[in-house]
């Protein structure tokens, strides 16, 4: 039954070599992915990218199998001696864990956000990803796998020029379950059924030709929906066991029904409170802090046995809705948050309850930022803005802005400051202004503030109608200017510096006076550093041809002593131009499948083998 595993050696080595996996949760996830995976063309394409470019960005719609494919790639490389490093936060985790002496494959899931664009993550990717891709490509011992929903990548590109298609598409691999051949879709469905906890009678129902063909050919076919629909079947009462196919088809016809039934009909009050509280934690929270926030949400009904009730609620929610990893609790699937966005939009009273019961600042920030997400629609935004007075009261009530319930944000001071500035504009109460000023002061004292975060806050503060905030504009502009200079490492960074200076110069006399000379100085330093690499006669460009051409054009106007190096770089560009054919890299051929094999496969389930 393991015909569709990448390799039995892979599975065995995963189970026996703890050193290759830093997280027990990731090891379990990879194990499950290997069980249900079926080979398809995207797998070979992704593997080819890792072999040739050493990096792969897996992109596709929600629930298409992006993470599953990533897990298979991780397992394949682990079998070849690579250590798996899961970068659970941002791309800077890759730099932190980098070991020149070790073969490593880095994995960053949802690298620009899970269900909505994470502006902080997108800014970090815009700053670091092109450079990181070059570093990985030049190393023989490093590989990088990233995943993202396709619409989030599109959003990120609209505001971050270094994430444009020209720079990322050479690393891209698209996964879309709706375009997979029916034989592959059937194998995926078969694996989900075979490795599930369904009893034999339930399996036999799903193995009937008319049933599995309807499921495999459904317009909403999705591995994720299959996984969670089967999990729902396991929880069905005995009287509903006779219509297992109907349950799966109902969820395929209306994907929201899967979570709607569980959340609105099945969950008890304690469990629903826990789900909603976890939502305000940006889908992932520290276990003990989540318990504290959950008790606050329950309010007066929280009793002396609240700890026991909390543990019981967690047990009942795992693993269908939440998963536990030591001291962390998170949603088992991003689609749960997708459903909750719409659920809260329909029940604005719940939004008010979440605001009133918040005990951590990032609960309020999560609610506000999610409502303002570009894909959330007007309903959720209206539900939140309709509670503006309660939201402002909650901001003043929550005192400890340093303590985070949810996932750590590298630039959380900036996010908090933007939130208070935006929230205070319609009100401008003295108390709220004071909170905003305190956060701006904290941001200015932050040891290594990110330039992108400072830039956004500076723009927001400059546009604020509150004079006390606007008075901070000049100092923030100068802090942004200094932070941007500190982050310049290559030609693209200088271009970014120029675009930021255009906005900062009207806000600060110091920036206006110094920026022109600073820009030329930075361009010259970067250009010289790049040309010095060509002192090595065997050097090949580690930047794209267009950037190298811009550097050579710039150096033609500057006095330098790198004529030989510049000649080698120009010769390299000429060779590249001559060798370019413009032909796209062909995708690997689709594997050959046989319908009779599919029928024989499902007949085993009907016969109980």
> 456-503: per-residue pLDDT in tens?
889 889 988 888 889 989 999 998 999 899 888 888 889 889 989 999
For residue 44, the model assigns a pLDDT of 92
Is 92 exposed, middle or buried, given 0-12, 13-18 or 19+ CB atoms closer than 10 A? middle
Q: How far apart are CA 188 and CA 481, in angstroms?
A: 52
Q: Which of 287, 296, 272 is nearest to 326 (CA)?
A: 287
Q: List pLDDT tens digits, range 424-451.
A: 777 778 888 888 888 888 777 766 667 8
The sheet that has 322-325: what strands, in order across it?
284-286, 328-331, 322-325
Q: How do 328-331 and 83-86 pair as beta strands?
A: unpaired
Q: What is the pLDDT of residue 339?
A: 82
Backbone φ and ψ of 559, nearest 5°:
-80, 130
Nearest-CA neighbor of 358 among 309, 301, 307, 398?
Answer: 398
Nearest to 74 by CA among 8, 119, 29: 29
Helices (H), 160-319: 165-168, 182-194, 200-206, 209-216, 223-234, 244-253, 255-261, 269-280, 287-298, 306-317
- Residues with pLDDT less than 50, the chain: 1-9, 11-22, 580-593
Q: Kindly state the tokens that stand for 327.
A: 């001291």
Tens digit of pLDDT for each residue in 34-84?
888 888 889 999 999 999 999 999 998 877 889 999 999 999 998 899 988
Query: How high is the pLDDT of residue 5?
Result: 45
DSSP β-ladder status, 284-286 and 55-60:
unpaired
Q: In whole angstroms, what is the distance from residue 176 CA to residue 163 CA?
A: 21
């Amino acid at each position: 039954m393991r015909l569709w595993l990448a390799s039995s050696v892979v599975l065995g080595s995963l189970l026996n070599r703890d050193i290759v996996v830093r997280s027990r949760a990731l090891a379990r996830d990879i194990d499950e992915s290997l069980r249900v995976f079926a080979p398809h063309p995207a797998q070979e394409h992704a593997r080819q990218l890792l072999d040739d470019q050493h990096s792969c960005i897996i992109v596709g719609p929600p629930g298409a199998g992006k993470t599953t494919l990533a897990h298979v790639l991780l397992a394949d490389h682990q079998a070849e001696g690579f250590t798996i490093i899961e970068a659970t936060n941002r791309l800077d985790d890759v730099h932190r864990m980098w070991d020149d002496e070790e073969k490593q494959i880095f994995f960053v899931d949802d690298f620009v956000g899970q269900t909505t664009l994470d502006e902080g993550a997108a800014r970090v990717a815009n700053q670091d990803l092109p450079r990181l891709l070059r570093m990985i490509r030049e190393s023989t011992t490093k590989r990088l796998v990233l995943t993202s929903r396709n619409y989030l990548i599109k959003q990120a590109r609209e505001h971050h020029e270094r994430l444009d298609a020209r720079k990322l598409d050479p690393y891209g691999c698209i996964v879309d379950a709706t375009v997979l051949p029916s034989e592959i879709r059937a194998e995926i469905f078969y694996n989900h059924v075979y490795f599930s906890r369904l009893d034999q009678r339930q399996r036999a129902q799903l193995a009937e030709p008319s049933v599995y063909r309807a499921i495999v050919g459904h317009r909403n076919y999705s591995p994720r929906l299959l996984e969670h629909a089967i999990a729902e079947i396991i929880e069905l009462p005995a009287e509903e066991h006779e219509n297992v196919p109907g349950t799966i088809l109902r969820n395929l016809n209306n994907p929201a029904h899967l979570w709607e039934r569980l959340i609105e009909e099945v969950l008890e009050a304690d469990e629903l409170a826990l789900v909603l509280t976890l939502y305000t934690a940006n889908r992932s929270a520290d276990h003990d802090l989540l318990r504290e926030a959950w008790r606050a949400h329950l309010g007066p009904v929280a009793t002396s046995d609240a700890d026991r009730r909390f543990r019981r609620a967690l047990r009942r929610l795992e693993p269908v809705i939440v998963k536990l990893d030591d001291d962390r609790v998170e949603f088992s699937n991003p689609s749960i948050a997708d459903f909750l966005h719409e659920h809260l939009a329909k029940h604005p009273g719940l939004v008010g309850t979440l605001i009133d019961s918040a005990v951590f600042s990032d609960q309020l920030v999560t609610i506000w930022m999610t409502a303002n997400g570009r894909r959330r629609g007007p309903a959720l935004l209206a539900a939140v803005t309709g509670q503006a007075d309660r939201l402002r009261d909650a901001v003043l009530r929550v005192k400890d802005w340093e303590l985070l319930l949810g996932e750590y944000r590298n630039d959380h001071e900036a996010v908090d400051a933007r939130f208070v500035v935006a929230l205070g504009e319609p009100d401008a109460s003295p108390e709220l202004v004071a909170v905003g000023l305190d956060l701006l002061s904290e941001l200015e004292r932050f040891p290594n503030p990110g330039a992108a975060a400072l830039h956004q806050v500076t723009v927001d503060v400059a546009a604020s109608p509150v004079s006390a905030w606007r008075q901070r504009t000049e100092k923030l502009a100068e802090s942004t200017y200094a932070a941007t200079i500190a982050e310049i490492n290559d030609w693209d960074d200088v271009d970014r510096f120029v675009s930021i200076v255009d906005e900062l110069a009207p806000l600060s006399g110091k920036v206006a006076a110094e920026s022109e000379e600073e820009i030329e100085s930075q361009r010259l330093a970067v250009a010289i550093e790049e040309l010095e690499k060509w002192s090595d006669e065997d050097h090949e460009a580690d930047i794209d041809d267009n950037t190298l051409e811009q550097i050579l054009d710039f150096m033609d106007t500057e006095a330098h002593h790198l004529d030989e190096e510049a000649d080698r770089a120009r010769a390299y560009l000429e060779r590249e131009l001559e060798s370019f054919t413009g032909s796209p890299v062909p995708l690997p051929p689709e594997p050959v499948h046989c319908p009779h094999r599919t029928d024989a496969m499902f007949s085993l389930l009907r016969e109980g083998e």
